[in-house]
Amino acid sequence: MSHRHARSAWGAALLTIVVATGTLTSSPAQALDGVTAADGSYSFTTKIDVGGVRACSGTLINNQWLISASSCFAEDPTQATSLPAGAPKLKSTAVIGRTDLTTATGEVRQITQLIPRQDRDLVLAKLDAPVYGISFLHPGSDAPVQGEALKGAGYGRTKNTWVPDVLHGAAFTAEAVEATSVNIDGTSVCKGDSGAPVFREKEGRPELVAIATNSWQGGCLGSNETRTGAVASRVDDIRAWITENTASTLNNWNLQMLTRTSTGLYHAMRNSNGDWTGFGDVQKAAGSITDLAHAADAAIKGKNYVFAVGGDGHLYEANRRPTGGWEAFRDITDEVGSKPGLTRVAVTSTGSGLALIGLASGRVYHATQDADEKWSKWGDVSAKLGLLGNATQVTTAQTSNGDTQVGVVADKKAYHATRHSDGTWSAWGNVSNLPTGLDAINGMAFAGTGSNLQVILTSPTGGKKHAIRADATGHWSAFGDLGGKLGNEPTISVDAASVTREFQAAVVTADGRIKHTLRHDNGKWDATEQVVGYPGTPATVALTGSAD
């Protein structure tokens, strides 16, 4: 990548640069002449071919949408804002997640729909099918600031290669910030870089700031220009427009995430496109819990139920209505029965009600809420199935045959039992006796995907494993290693949820980060992302899926 003010698109025969009062009004930009990107890095960057006559770069912002420069697709690249909405006039193909174009990694998709902005050189491009296993680059909400250090990536021309086969990275400095654009300088931006992402590093992950559009072409092969400045179209002020115009590929299911941090309890949602809301303060909306020790959640018909264990050992329940408002926390200790030493709860939807698992003074308990929101008293699971020594964690999930699956971590081992739909229980099974590949267990999370139970285990040293138990037969699949997905650093919390038969999992690392990934029903995994935006340092995470 090369720094300059860019406005020419891939394959343009000429770059006509007109300078007026020190600003750029050149034709659309082309390639970033920087350092070759490490294999797999900046995989959200895409190579776009427009009818075999023009090439550009683009950015994957969720699993079925790109953002790029309108000038890439316009008949006359100098008239970018005249691009009509609808299908591209020329067959347009996107290569996504392929750092080295000579390989077969990543995905190839056709672009079926364009939604251009009328006030800047910017367009949303819909893919003909979702993309799996490739990181998104989420648009940020903070405006660029003059002097800010930014990065970029693109497939355009370099100082010595006409048509590069590899992705190049770049370093920029933000200069003048305009209403719809930002001037950048540093690495050269060349032909083929129109539509390339310009991003910042924030809280340990990249965040999209703007899209490269025009440049001086200084330092690019075939150019005698020495100036390396470029222009990029801002995205921070149009997030609502992006969300609205990419909504056609959404289904009505969301992931709900709850995290207890050093400053409180916070809630966010992730939609089916992979976009996150901001984190809201649960206790500000639903009432404060003194010395909140633990929290869990489950959803029924769009209503998200939150359960919190207070420092007094009491159990509190609140819920978030489908419309977004909260009903305040209420103490349900008398309804389910007091259990001194209550430290942990896990909860799952049973379809018409809830199943609640509690851990108190080393014993495991079970209670249910019916369709009228009436609670049963705690039942002593340990009395039925046997006491598990030094129990520290509980998890639960529902499978489609009406069984409630219960997991317990005790003495650094993982145990599983089933409460059948007729109210009978199976015995504890020692999951650690299976070939999990872990010597010790410190975390366990369940999610029911149809009749199958999907499980994630974590170890104190950072190991992470995943397996599936077929509920009809009780057979366990081999445990697969999730270290390549969720990292190998130690974790202090783990949870999972089923969202339209997708297995979604999140962990809290020992150094205070939340990581999220998901496994689709077809067995493909999405790229792991670091979740950001919560105040404080996270200690626990809880997940559930809900429909609008």
Digit-coded pLDDT (tens) for 105-130: 999 999 999 999 999 999 999 999 99
Residue 222: what pLDDT?
83
Amino acid at 94: A
Q: Where do we find the tokens 């009491």? A: 314
Residue 9 lies in a domain: no
Residue 545 CA to residue 356 CA, distance in Å, equals 16
The residue ranking higher by pLDDT, 142 or 216, is 142
Q: Is the pLDDT of residue 1 over 60?
A: no
**Of 175, 208, 241, which residue constitutes the final position of a domain?**
241
- Residues 179 and 269 both lie in one domain: no
Q: Domain with 539 in it: what CATH number?
A: 2.120.10.80
Q: Where do we find the tokens 């329940």? A: 317
| Per-residue pLDDT tens over the stretch 468-508 | 999 778 899 999 999 988 999 999 999 999 998 899 999 99
Residue 34 CA to residue 12 CA, distance in Å, equals 21
Q: Is the pLDDT of residue 320 over 70?
A: yes
Q: What is the mean pLDDT of residues 34-42?
A: 60
Residue 18: what pLDDT?
24
Q: Is the pLDDT of residue 19 over 70?
A: no
**pLDDT band, residue 39 (cuts 50/70/90):** low
Tokens of residue 233, six digits: 């179209």
Contact 180, 233 (CB under 8 A): yes
543 Cβ contact list (under 8 Å, min separation 6): 255, 256, 257, 258, 297, 495, 496, 497, 504, 505, 506
Q: Is the pLDDT of residue 8 over 50?
A: no
Q: Is the pLDDT of residue 146 over 60?
A: yes
Which SS3 state, helix, strand or coil, does residue 86 take?
strand
- Residues 46 and 80 both lie in one domain: yes
Residue 239 CA to residue 30 CA, distance in Å, equals 25
**pLDDT band, residue 21 (cuts 50/70/90):** very low
Residue 406 CA to residue 398 CA, distance in Å, equals 9
Neighbours of 353 (CB within 10 A): 18
**pLDDT band, residue 24 (cuts 50/70/90):** very low
Closest CA to 375 of 401, 342, 347: 347
Sheet (strand 264-270) strand order: 280-281, 264-270, 253-261, 538-547
Residue 313 lies in a domain: yes
Residue 41: what pLDDT?
76
- Residues 181 and 264 both lie in one domain: no
Residue 431: what pLDDT?
97
**Residue 128 phi/psi, 5° resolution?**
-75, -10
Eight-state DSSP code of residue 44: T
Q: Where do we find the tokens 């000429």? A: 14
Residue 224: what pLDDT?
87
Eight-state DSSP code of residue 5: -
**pLDDT band, residue 35 (cuts 50/70/90):** low
- Residues 84 and 117 both lie in one domain: yes
- Residues 321 and 401 both lie in one domain: yes
463 Cβ contact list (under 8 Å, min separation 6): 437, 438, 457, 481, 483, 488
Eight-state DSSP code of residue 244: H
Residue 443 CA to residue 448 CA, distance in Å, equals 17
| Per-residue pLDDT tens over the stretch 358-393 | 999 999 999 999 999 999 999 999 999 999 999 999
Which SS3 state, helix, strand or coil, does residue 145 take?
coil
**Of 241, 272, 287, which residue constitutes the final position of a domain?**
241
- Residues 505 and 357 both lie in one domain: yes
CA separation, residue 104 to residues 96, 348, 525 (Å): 11, 41, 18
**pLDDT band, residue 17 (cuts 50/70/90):** very low
- Residues 342 and 438 both lie in one domain: yes
Q: Where do we find the tokens 């999140």? A: 506
Per the structure, the count of domains in the chain is 2
Q: What is the mean pLDDT of residues 412-423?
A: 96
- Residues 259 and 303 both lie in one domain: yes
Q: Where do we find the tokens 């034709």? A: 27
Q: Where do we find the tokens 């698109």? A: 9
- Residues 255 and 360 both lie in one domain: yes
Residue 527 lies in a domain: yes
DSSP states along 318-351: EEE-TTS-EEEEEE-HHHH---TTEEEEEEEE-S
Residue 6 lies in a domain: no
Q: Is the pLDDT of residue 7 over 80?
A: no
From first CA to last CA, the distance across the chain in angstroms is 43
Which residues face 409 on adjacent strands? 393, 414
∠ CA 152-232-187, nearest 5°, is 40
**Of 241, 258, 278, which residue constitutes the final position of a domain?**
241
**H or E element at residue 56:** strand 54-62
| Structural domain span for residue 340 | 250-547
| Mean pLDDT value across the chain | 90
Closest CA to 155 of 375, 334, 337, 2: 2
Residue 165 lies in a domain: yes
Contact 297, 347 (CB under 8 A): yes
| Per-residue pLDDT tens over the stretch 265-274 | 999 999 999 9
Closest CA to 449 of 507, 525, 398: 398
Eight-state DSSP code of residue 375: B
Q: Is the pLDDT of residue 419 over 80?
A: yes
Q: Is the pLDDT of residue 237 over 80?
A: yes
Four-CA torsion 33, 38, 41, 43, nearest 10 degrees: 70
Tokens of residue 227, six digits: 């100036």
- Residues 213 and 349 both lie in one domain: no
Residue 12 lies in a domain: no
Residue 8 CA to residue 47 CA, distance in Å, equals 16
Q: What is the CA radius of gyration of the chain?
A: 26
Residue 290 lies in a domain: yes
Residue 167 lies in a domain: yes
- Residues 203 and 307 both lie in one domain: no
Which residues face 100 on adjacent strands? 166
- Residues 230 and 269 both lie in one domain: no
Residue 531 CA to residue 533 CA, distance in Å, equals 7
Out of 6-20, 76-90, 137-151, 439-453, least confident range = 6-20
